[in-house]
Amino acid sequence: MSEVFPNAPLALVAFEVRYLEEAPLTARPALGGLKAALAEHLPLRDDLRQHEVALRVGAPEAPAVQVTVVPRFTTRDRTIACQVSPTSLIIETTAYAGFESFLILIDTALQAVAEVAKPDGVTRIGLRYIDEIRVPGIEEPPGDWRGYIDEHLLAPVADEFVKAAQLIPHTWQGVVQYGTGPDRAVVLRYGPAEGYAVPPGGPTRRKDPPPPGLYFLLDSDSFWQPSDEIPTFEPETLVAACRQLHTPVRALFDTVVANRLVDEVFR
């Protein structure tokens, strides 16, 4: 079992499954069934309202504003949420208590969806981890992350590179996609940034967020997408796929962070 650090840098963890459009999932009876199934974990319904403005070139009338209600179930402190639409189910948390605990909620939600309106097929599964790594004393961008982050991710600001070209690094971001298995991949976005990657006042709240400032971003999106046949919506199969998606994310994290960072900051 992977260690859960007392001062973990995780800002957000999210799971998403996309499926062929299943309109009944957002109908009143289906939402009632979902609320009942999720009540033990997510007792409140706290819908999102998304506003879309339609502009018509040359039209004299005012722009049309369309309001879309997105059904959403949350904990009372709104640190864990489940959002449903006719084409996707999203579960996210800013209070991550470990993968096995998160997987229980994923399994519960998938079972509920299968019971109230089983979609015809799955088109994507994703598991995303967003880390904001903050180290006391590293405050001026882009920051000196040597000894804390694996040197392979620090190549753009390596002394032998920037001095040879007489460059002064200010900010930088990297992105790379790795294949992790049949139809599976993980996209890693990384680099220093300021403020927050996940706003504390967003729909899914962050408890006791750190002060805004310089941090090193690790944003891992591990996903599966069928290249051939579209499989059926089977909760057991989806849970097993979620385990496969988690493995490379944890391995990548353990590779990127140095022992010094773990010992001095995370623990």
The answer to whether 261 and 8 have CB atoms below 8 angstroms apart is no
The closest alpha carbon to 107, from 9, 41, 19, 25, belongs to 41
Q: Is 256 exposed, middle or buried (0-12, 13-18, 19+ CB in 10 A)?
A: buried
- Per-residue confidence of the chain (267 residues) as pLDDT tens digits? 567 787 889 999 999 999 987 667 777 888 888 899 999 999 999 887 765 565 555 556 666 666 677 889 999 999 999 999 889 999 999 999 999 999 999 999 999 999 888 888 999 999 999 999 999 999 999 999 999 999 999 988 887 877 777 777 778 899 999 999 999 999 999 999 999 999 998 999 999 899 999 999 999 999 999 998 999 999 999 999 999 999 999 999 999 999 999 998 888
Domain residue ranges in the chain: 10-266
- Of 252, 192, 197, nearest to 216 by C-alpha is 192
Contacts of 195 by beta carbon, 8 Å cutoff, 6+ apart: 212, 213
Place of tokens 């290249």: 227
Give every CB contact of residue 261 below 8 A, 6+ residues apart in sequence: 133, 135, 147, 148, 149
pLDDT in tens, 107-165: 999 999 998 888 889 999 999 999 999 999 999 999 999 999 999 999 888 878 777 77
Strand partners, 73: 45, 82
